[in-house]
Chains A and B, each alone.
Chain A
């Protein structure tokens, strides 16, 4: 079956690194995504990784993919108050962009 799991909450001190973890079940997923949702807003595409990659870095964001364990992580370096949001992990099974399976989202709380 298709399922995406992620922890629901994460608290991090401002300036520290945040690591949000995700596991997925569909080994045929070719692309894996991270979306950010701020309160009362839609989802913003943060980044995505192709399944033949182990790592992708984009400024403060680093995505790590362990395809063998079906584990995806998002690291946010130097976490700021503006990073406070819900982060959704998502997979597109069988490389179908029209069918994205979302996790339940991880709420990132920034401590002063």
Chain B
């Protein structure tokens, strides 16, 4: 099945550091990928849609300059949390729509294992 790899799985760093998280589709191509943020015991909050070859689309309330997204190839999207502060500590998850599985035409989202970001 479709596999999405996300790295790193856990990051601890000092306040003010920029942190890059990678999301890769391993056995399929993805022109779009999605970045979510999840707070403890809460559902996923869509942050932005990463578009290969063009600018990302951010959800309302998400700071573009704080969360930089780059989708440089059909298999890689990166999220950079710039000048991270303790309030940015969270669980970040990426997803990509997998290929259709006939006879169905939909492309279910496949998720990475998430990155736990802890800012001291």
The residues of A with any CB-CB pair to B shorter than 8 Å are 30-31, 33, 35, 40-45, 48, 50, 88, 92, 95, 97-98, 100, 102-105
Beta-carbon contact of A50 and B104 below 8 Å: yes
Taking CB atoms and an 8 Å cut-off, the chain B residues in 69-111 that contact chain A are: 93, 95, 97, 104, 106-111
- Shortest CB distance B53–A (Å): 16
Interface size class of B (residues with CB under 8 A): 20 to 34
Within 8 Å by CB of A43, from B93, B97, B116, lies: B93
Task: Given A98-B32, A100-B109, A105-B43, decide whether A42 and B97 contact each other with a Cβ distance below 8 A.
Answer: no
Interface of B is mostly: strand
Which residue of the partner chain A has the closest CB to B33? A98
Beta-carbon contact of A98 and B43 below 8 Å: no
**Chain B contacts for A95, CB-based, 8 A:** 106
- Shortest CB distance A17–B (Å): 25
Task: Given A40-B116, A41-B113, decide whether A97 and B106 contact each other with a Cβ distance below 8 A.
Answer: yes
Task: Given A40-B114, A97-B97, decide whether A88 and B109 contact each other with a Cβ distance below 8 A.
Answer: no
Q: Does B26 contact A (CB under 8 A)?
A: no
